[in-house]
Amino acid sequence: MSLDPAVAAVRLAVRRTLAEAGHDPVGSPVVVACSGGADSLALLAATVFETRRTPQRVIGVTVDHGLQDGSAEHTARVVAQMAGLGADETGSVRVQVETDGHGTEAAAREARYAVLEEIAGRLGAGTVLLGHTLDDQAETALLGLARGSGGRSIAGMRPGFGIFRRPLLAIRRSQTEAACAAEGIDAWTDPHNSDPRFTRSRVRHSVLPVLERELGPGVAETLARTAEQLRPDMEALDRLADVALTRHLHPESGFDVREIAALEQAVRTRMLRLAALGAGCPPSELFAVHVDALEQQVHNRVRLPKQIQLPGHVTAYRQGDHLWFGPTSVES
C-alpha cells in the first residue's frame, strides 16, 4: 500500500528540519507545540514517525490560553490525543494572557512562546516545532502589506528563530488536513479561526478566497514566495544595523547625528529601532511612527532640546548634535 502523498510531504518537511537541527546534543528531546488542530497534529505524528529510530524523545505540549469556554476540557483531550499518537511525554500548561493595550492574538502568541521556551529549557530540549503552514505565511504577508508595516512584516514568519522551528511553511493547510484524514486523526477546528471579529479570520475566509477567485489560483503560494524572497534582504539589513549600532551608539553621549546622518536610511532607521528596543521599548508597542519621529530628529537642524516619548517609559532626547535615550522622568 502506497504512502499517502500528504503524509509523505509532511514527514519530509519534518525530516529536513530535524536534520538542520542536528547540532542539538544527541538524544536531546524535541518539543512539539500542539493545539489539537490539523496542522499541529500532522506535525506531531510526522515527528513521532521520523524519530522512531533515534534516541530523540518527542514531547507534545499544548497551551491553554483560557480564552474559550471549555478550554480545560479541550486541553485534556489534546493531551490524550498526543499520547495516542505516540509522543514519549505529554504536557499542558495554562497561561494568563495580558493584553497590555495590544491585541489578544499578539498577547496570546507572546505568552505561548514564552512558556514553550521555558518548558524547553527545563527539559533540555534544543528545538521546539511549530505548526505554521504556507497558508499562515500568506496570511501574515498579506496582513503586513495591508497594514503598511514595511518589509519586515511582509517578509512574514521566519522558518526558525532561537529554539523555534517551523517545518511546514512550504506545506498547504489542505495537505495537513489530508494527512490527518489519511492517518485517521480527528483534528479540532478552532472556532476563533472562523470568528469574523479577528482580522486573520477575515483574511482567511473572505479576502484570500476573493483574491483566488479574481486573480486566479496560486495567490497564497505567490504571497508566501514573496515573503521568502524578501526575508534575506531584511536579514541582511538587520545585520548591517547591528554593526552600525555597535559603531555609533556611544554609552555616554548616545548618537552623534552628524555621524549617523551619512548612513543609508534603511540601515539608520533599523539602527534607531534597535537602540529604542535596547533602551526598554517593548517590541510589540514600538511602531513605525515612533521610528519615523526618531528619524526626523536626526535631521532636525534647530539645535534645541527635543523629546520624544516612546513606549515602555522611554524618552529619546535630541540636544545639540546628540540623540540619546533614557527613562521617562516622572514629576512628583
pTM, rounded to two decimals:
0.82
CA distance 294 to 221: 36
Closest Cα to residue 318, out of 275, 242, 256?
A: 256
Q: Count the Cβ atoms, other than its own, within 10 Å of residue 154.
A: 22
Per-residue model confidence (pLDDT) at position 279: 94
Intrachain domains 5-223 and 249-327 with the same fold: no
Tell me which DSSP letter residue 125 carries. -
User: For the chain, what is the mean pLDDT?
Assistant: 89
- Residue showing cell 536534520: 19
Strands 164-165, 160-161: pairing kind = antiparallel
CA distance 32 to 28: 13
249-327 sits in which CATH class? alpha beta
pLDDT tens for each residue of 3-33: 999 999 999 999 999 998 766 666 789 999 9
CA distance 141 to 121: 31
Contact status, residue 56 vs residue 151, Cβ threshold 8 Å? no
Per-residue model confidence (pLDDT) at position 170: 96
Average pLDDT across each block of 10 residues of the chain; the chain has 332 residues. List them in order.
92 95 75 96 98 94 80 92 97 77 70 92 95 95 80 86 95 97 92 78 91 91 93 94 97 92 96 95 85 90 74 91 85 43
CA distance 127 to 33: 11
92: β partners: 62
Contact status, residue 249 vs residue 255, Cβ threshold 8 Å? yes
Per-residue model confidence (pLDDT) at position 332: 34
Q: What's the angle, vertex CA 169, arms to CA 71 and CA 210, rounded to 5?
A: 80
- CB contact set of 264 (below 8 Å; sequence gap of 6+): none
What number does CATH give the domain 5-223?
3.40.50.620
Q: Count the Cβ atoms, other than its own, within 10 Å of residue 163.
A: 19
Closest Cα to residue 94, out of 118, 66, 69?
A: 66
| Amino acid of residue 284 | S
Domain residue spans in the chain? 5-223, 249-327
